[in-house]
Amino acid sequence: MEILRLVIRSDDLGYSEAVNYGVEKALRFGMTRSVGLMPNMQAAAHGLKLLQGLDVCIGQHTNICVGRPCADPKRIPSLLNADGCFKSSREYREAAMDMVVLGEAVIEVEAQYARFKELTGREPDYFECHAVRSANFIRAVELVSEKHGLKFSGPFLRGQATARVGSEQTYRWGVNNFAPDYDPAEALRRVVRTTRRDLPGVYVCHPGYVDAYLLKNSSLHINRAKEVEMLTDPAMRTWLEREGVELISYNDIGN
């Protein structure tokens, strides 16, 4: 049987304290070894504290659609609402054109990179985007990664099966984790059974628990808890081993 090398990535560390507890459980007792930190969020330091002592890859999950910016708000008006918070992901999706000004996005990405290093005392193991599929935002993240020699993890855009991680192409599957009947275990089993195995895969999860902040700011909530359960299920790990899946991290690809 041909081996499938698979990164299971947990996004959104720092989104809220409840999300952090779910992420921590998935990393400490589950199958994921790579986690994306949202440096601008108030709960970012709390999330990192929960992960102390764990051997995990920590990437920058660059965020421009929830919370407040790391940069001076006066320098990035295209990204903000009147209250000084980032525009929501819905506003970006529903806009008739790309609302993001490239130069302003670069300023904020740089500021989040500086905040990441301040919080962690290290360089990010990978560098990528949260939620917003603005071409200017994606390009800004790529430009900052190139400037600092970071491992850019390109987004998997609709209609494209592969995306670059550093110097390497990776494969990813479309999973609708917003669906009310979403079954994370069945979704993972389905992609393992049907995927090509000539490229490493990146499977993105959003484990977490629910609190008031998450309910107010995100449409992805209950299904996060379902993913915690799936990622920490010993039976799922055993099944993956039987199917020839080798669980890897971002440090094992894209060099």
Beta carbons of 20 and 214 less than 8 angstroms apart: no
Most confident option among 95-104, 166-175, 189-198: 95-104
pLDDT at residue 160 greater than cutoff 90: no
pLDDT tens per residue across span 24-45: 999 999 999 999 999 999 999 9
C-alpha–C-alpha distance, residues 133 and 118, integer Å: 27
pLDDT at residue 97 greater than cutoff 80: yes
Alpha helices in the chain (DSSP H): 17-29, 44-50, 89-94, 102-120, 135-148, 184-194, 212-217, 222-231, 234-242
C-alpha–C-alpha distance, residues 187 and 115, integer Å: 35
Predicted confidence band of residue 159 (pLDDT cuts 50, 70, 90)? low
- Please give the pLDDT value at position 32: 95
Mean pLDDT (whole number) for 139-162: 90
pTM summary value: 0.96
For the chain, the structural domain boundaries read 4-252
pLDDT at residue 158 greater than cutoff 80: no
Report the amino acid identity of residue 195. T
pLDDT tens per residue across span 98-143: 999 999 999 999 999 999 999 999 999 999 999 999 999 999 999 9
Distance from chain centroid for Cα 14:
11
Q: Which residue has the higher pLDDT, 191 or 114?
A: 114
- Please give the pLDDT value at position 195: 82
Tell me the three state secondary structure of residue 172. Answer: coil
- With both helix axes pointing from N to C terminus, report the angle between 184-194 and 234-242 in degrees, rounded to the nearest 10: 10
The encoded tokens of residue 38 equal 């949202």
Percent share of the chain, pLDDT over 70: 99
Predicted confidence band of residue 74 (pLDDT cuts 50, 70, 90)? very high
Mean pLDDT (whole number) for 7-12: 96
Domain 4-252 class in CATH: alpha beta
pLDDT at residue 69 greater than cutoff 80: yes
